[in-house]
Structure 1
């Protein structure tokens, strides 16, 4: 059985940099050997939950600019799985969640930068799934909940996003975390540890510095999806915690 994960994808540079966080990703992958990966990425937004449905090799999407040439030479030639995609769609629709299929979209950097560090051989089938940041948190949780139990079949569900993600307040070159960013993550961790989903769903009103930490929800909602898909009988665990550029959170959770 494999857990569900919320992983921070942060800067695309994690694909080529050697840092404490990239070492963590490699070590984490050494403890989890899934037969397939279902990944919800903050960088694919659709009104209807859309599932990559192909058995072909994905293109690598470079959905960013201004980075070193080396980064644009990285390829992650993972294959899709129409069988696993069908299971995802079946589970979602059984829970009353409308779905769509996409047979041509490649892997965006919310997916391939993480997977490149975790499973560099690209030998595990990947199904990428979109997010809708405008759905309320309870609905995001329900999307994840529809996939609960995938871990028993060794299918790894990953929510790829960031808890504190505000590019306007980054402190370039600063390695120490801004107190307000830490306070926001502390609040999340306390509520998760207590199993207080009601407060988590109302984070925008209750969490300290919520508007500053989450000016837009696309990077935040994968947390609720990963949480919903996890084992309800197990306490959430911090898999990794760190910060870059003062405010960019690399908090990762295991559910």
Structure 2
């Protein structure tokens, strides 16, 4: 269990400006790798939202995305200009391995990300060789299928807990006013010990946990969310390990101190993978 630590929110950085309306932050559940070719209800919902975002923000500069499938001793930031698509899984249909997501990298944006993290007192270094793992490219295939939006992936430190992931997102909050989508890609529930494949009715614990999280988010109850391991029903069963839940806190940190959630999906796949995905805008 991760300790609940005080959350230090960095002051607004020089990159933020009131001249540009900030993009929302985003949390997306990326499910199993098969989500790339078995889109369910969530894939089209993400595509529709991505289209609307491009219409609302035609000058979208790029995406900064954190995935639990890149974990490192400390924060790392993708610096490559043309990251490869990594099929970091095994035992799936050949069609899945034929997929490529050739979105460009964004070395200049990566430099801004590194600068913001370091300005917030967080140790971070660049990585020019890192490819896109499926926690990044699978949901991005649905969000931006043309692969024409530059992407910078960020690593999750192996020792991070909710407060640390929140602080990482908070450090990058100002980028949202600079045409950058800051996203956490994880899973609302992720107990792969219970994965059986095929269509199944959602397990009751999945719904109980997911709706507790939704209620806490809608109440903007950050202390309860940070303490979810003790307070949420079935937290241990929903997340035997918590790396797939931590991107939620990255998105919350990027969203600001008061947010309003707009759910894009509450689908449950295979009876145990909650695909909850939602945007986080400033509360009005």
Q: Shorter chain as normaliser: what TM range? A: over 0.9
Give RMSD over aligned pairs. 1.3
The residue that corresponds to 1:15 in the other structure is 36
Distance 1:124 1:21 in 2: 20
Q: Summarize the Cα distance change of 1:6–1:135 in structure 2 as closer, same or farther, 3 Å threshold.
A: same
1:59 to 61, 84, 88: 84
Indicate the SS of the match to 1:37.
Answer: strand
Which aligned pairs between 1:61-100 and structure 2 lie closer than 5 A? Answer: 61-100=86-125
Paired residues, number? 254
SS state at 1:32 partner: helix
Q: Tell me, which stretches of 5 or more residues in structure 2 are unaligned?
A: 1-21, 55-59
> Matched residues in 1 for 2:131 and 2:64: separation?
14
Does residue 27 of structure 1 match 2:48? yes
1:156 to 163, 181, 187: 181
* 1:213–1:168 CA distance, 2 compared to 1 (3 A): same
User: In the alignment, which residue of structure 2 is the partner of 1:45?
Assistant: 71
Partners in 2 of 1:171 and 1:67 — Cα distance?
14
Which residue of 1 is the match for residue 215 of structure 2?
A: 190
TM-score between the two structures when normalised by the length of structure 2 = 0.86
CA distance in 2, matches of 1:134, 1:242: 30
The offset of 1:172, in angstroms, is: 2.8
- 1:237 corresponds to: 262
1:129 to 154, 157, 160: 154
- Asked whether the equivalents of residues 8 and 252 of structure 1 are also in contact (C-alpha less than 8 Å), the reply is yes
1:233: how far off? Answer: 4.0
